[in-house]
Chains A and B, each alone.
Chain A
Amino acid sequence: MEFDDKIPIYYQIKQYIYQEIIVNHLAPGDKLPAVRQLALTLTVNVNTIQRALSELINEGILESKRGRGNFVTTDVATLTDLKHRVVEEQLALMYDRLADLQIAPEDMVAYLTDYIAKRKEQAQA
């Protein structure tokens, strides 16, 4: 995994795990790899993995079972919230950029609709 060295690594690992959960590479109830294995896979420090995981546990995204490891929560509401939160963060970035360009909200919708149509065409070509 490529990291942006200007952003805390633990934060980027959290985003990575969010994504793995949202796209169902990590399904509800799945066990995460051991901490040291994750550190090796992502080529980061064990402490960094531990910090990311403990924040995910505090957020209720992961459940820590003593002696057995960390598991993705099976709580549907928490997972739905997570997806909304992550999508909204991306939308917020786009909204702010377009607002900086003084695009009105209703025009944003039009631009986005056109753009989606264009991407669909490109995908079919």
Chain B
Amino acid sequence: MTTLLTVANLTYKRNLKTILEDLNLTLEPNQIVGLLGANGAGKTTLMRLIAGAATSYHGTIRLGDQGTPAERKAIVSFSEQVAGVNDNRRLVNIADFYDHVYPDFDMANFRKLATDLGLGLDQRFNQLSRGNHQKFVVAIALSRHAKLYLLDEPFNGIDSMSRKKIVSSIIEWKPEMATILVSDHHVTDIANILDAVAVVKDHTIVDQKKADEIRENNGQSIEDYYESFYAEGETDND
């Protein structure tokens, strides 16, 4: 199978502090992959780098045959780009803005997604509940026709009904050959929909495996597998 994303020997430092070190990650097309790791392990930074939102790194990031950050930005849909908007505009106006900025944004799909998620588009962004905030971020991200979607902690701090709706949207709206990388620190939310998982720890990816191989070969649940990397030592995971 052709590779969608190759990250090789990626090192990223900020203010002399190492955020990511010698990180390797490979993603195939048409997958849903869980990026698992404790808070502060570097999941968001990795997504920012893949999306082209951070640029001063060492190593290789290739998406198909697109190598430069600007080229990647055009074909990666990253949820954080939405979350940064902090204003009192109505959701429909923010969506209009993305419709103008991204040629691959599909307004019709966005409206259907919002309806599926039960999001009223007349609401103002800065008055959204946590659950509706996350639904909106996911709806915006999935409304682009991208090759790679990066969803950063979409289930963080939301109720189970919102979580179920977001999970359904991911299943329903993922374009056939696209890949979704979704980060989470509580894997049971999404274990059933993952093709594979990658575990981030100590500034790098310590392992990457197919979900059914973990179950079939190790006889482990995804959660047990993930927690085995954090079993000994520090307790910075929650």
Contacts and interface: CB of A to CB of B under 8 A. Distances in A.
A4 to B, nearest CB: 8
A3 B192 contact: yes
B194 A6 contact: no
Contacts of B195: 45, 47-48
Nearest to B216: A8
A43 B193 contact: yes
B71 interface: no
A26 to B, nearest CB: 22
A36 B193 CA distance: 12
B204 interface: no
Contacts of B224: 6
B221 A6 contact: yes
A46 B32 CA distance: 10
B192 A9 contact: yes
B212 A9 contact: yes
A43 B212 contact: no
A6 B219 contact: yes
B222 to A, nearest CB: 6
Contacts of A9: 192, 211-212, 215
Nearest to A46: B171
A47 B30 contact: yes
Contacts of B172: 36, 40
B105 to A, nearest CB: 22
A18 interface: no
B31 interface: yes
B171 A7 contact: no
Contacts of A7: 215
B168 A47 contact: no
Given A46-B174, A47-B30, A8 B215 contact: yes
B202 interface: no
Nearest to A7: B215
A7 B191 CA distance: 12
Contacts of B211: 9
A5 B168 contact: no
A57 interface: no
Given A6-B221, A8-B212, A36 B31 contact: no
B107 interface: no
A95 interface: no
Interface string B113-154: 000000000000000000000000000000000000000000
Interface string B196-238: 0000000000000001100110011111100000000000000
Nearest to A3: B192
A40 B215 contact: no
A44 B215 contact: no
Interface centre among B32, B192, B193, B194 (most CB of A within 10 A): B192
Contacts of B92: none
B167 interface: yes
Contacts of B194: 45
Contacts of A46: 171, 174
Interface in A32-56: 36, 39-40, 43-48
B31 A6 contact: no
B212 A5 contact: no
7 contacts: A6-B215, A8-B216, A44-B192, A44-B193, A45-B171, A47-B32, A47-B195
